[in-house]
Amino acid sequence: MIPRYSSPQVDALFSEEAKMARWLEIELAVTEELAAEGVVDAAHAAACRASAPVVDAAFVGRVEERESVTNHDVAAFVDVVQAAVGAPAGAWIHYGLTSTDVVDTGLCWALRDAADLIVSAQTELLRALVALARQHAGTAMIGRTHGIHAEPTTFGAKIALWALQVDRDRSRMRAARQAVAVCKLSGAVGTYSNIPPAVETRVAARLGLVPVPATQVIARDRHAEYLWACASAGTTLEMIAVELRHLQRTEVGEVREGFAKGQKGSSAMPHKRNPISAETISGLSRVLRGNLQVGLQDVPLWHERDISHSSAERIVLPDSTSLVYYMTRRMTSLLSNLEVDTDRMLANLDMLHGVVYSQSVLLAMVSAGMLRDDAYRVVQECAARAIQQGTPFRDVLTGDPRVTVSGAELDAAFDLARVLKDADRGIAALDSLEF
């Protein structure tokens, strides 16, 4: 991932040093468990552990130098480890294994830890959303459908629905974690021809992974599920970002992203204050969805394996992890510093002179005995006249002889508190969230 959207936490997980350190631990654990099975001399297994090289930048450099000869990364890694351990113990490194036993188990180990990072970030985002929803539980604003004023709602109710969706994304990420937290040490085509199943079981337990049946590779639907969880989370973040972008438009002006001292919104226009965080999140979500397509295409492989998936997932798995982690944390920062203009929300709510209560008026007229279609046409005409003339909708209604409802009934129809009395259902649902 380019540095702009990376983070030290994710970079550390997918660095070459971290990857090879996982490979080394898998190799050593297998050697020790083979000793427990009586396949490897216990003294040799102990020597492998005692003489194992430190995996640092110099070690990675030696592996890369060796790979220029072998043209195979795991073979090069094994050669360098065996040389460091020395004979005769080093000969038992990689005994009975195929390269993907080590690579796939190591990758699943990394993805498990990556999922934990993402879930932690999602939990922090949830906290910010819940706090904001409760803060604005009574903040009235206009609800919009098709981008057009519809009926009143509250800003808190809007945010509560975002929080509930983020929680579902967190559940999807936890499910994806379970799907990828697996281990495969069953040899060239997955038949345990040279590795006892008990070794796989015990190594998996050491690593906190679950042994699964496989061919030469772990089935890639697991990795696709992880990418789906990333893409779903990113799409939810974009959903929130798009709404915030619309609400920040000059003509709406109901929210604004925080603006730091010294910040510039435009290199040319000093007055500009743009929703740059939300726009960045919108853009990066497109990358996540594109990466998901790669993950799905990596599922169908030839026979017991090929490597058409390998090159692609070296990019999309770390990059998707980096992106969704970055986007989640950036959204948390955006919401924590969000400026909410409650006065502008009320002004926009009243912008159309009260026609947003048209459904309440319609129902009052139906309750008074008018046929629904007849009532609809009357209310529709009165609403259009109020908008065109800039006249309060209620005044237009009371001046139309076809409107026979009482003043008290109109009071109820135009009562904002009545309209919003149950709008907090979504906020109440936040009580069930777990942190």
Tell me which residues are annotated as active site: 146, 266
Q: Long-range contacts made by residues 364-373, C-beta under 8 angstroms, separation at least 24?
A: 364/405, 364/409, 364/410, 364/412, 364/413, 365/403, 365/404, 365/405, 367/409, 368/404, 368/405, 368/409, 370/404
DSSP state of 275: -
Query: Which tokens go with 327?
Result: 């986007």
DSSP 3-state of 140: strand
The DSSP secondary structure of 33-87, one letter per residue, reads HHHHTTSS-HHHHHHHHHTPPP-SHHHHHHHHHHHHHHS-HHHHHHHHHHHHH-T
DSSP state of 164: H
Residue type, position 218, single letter: I
Q: Long-range contacts made by residues 153-158, C-beta under 8 angstroms, separation at least 24?
A: 153/420, 153/423, 154/420, 154/423, 154/424, 155/254, 155/340, 155/342, 155/345, 156/132, 156/424, 156/427, 157/133, 157/423, 157/424, 157/425, 157/426, 157/427, 158/243
- Which run of H or of E encompasses 126? helix 99-135
Nearest of 337, 141, 353, 331 to residue 247 by alpha carbon: 141
Note whether 288 and 326 are within 8 A (CB). no
Note whether 63 and 73 are within 8 A (CB). yes
Note whether 376 and 362 are within 8 A (CB). yes
- Pairing of the two strands 182-183 and 210-211: parallel
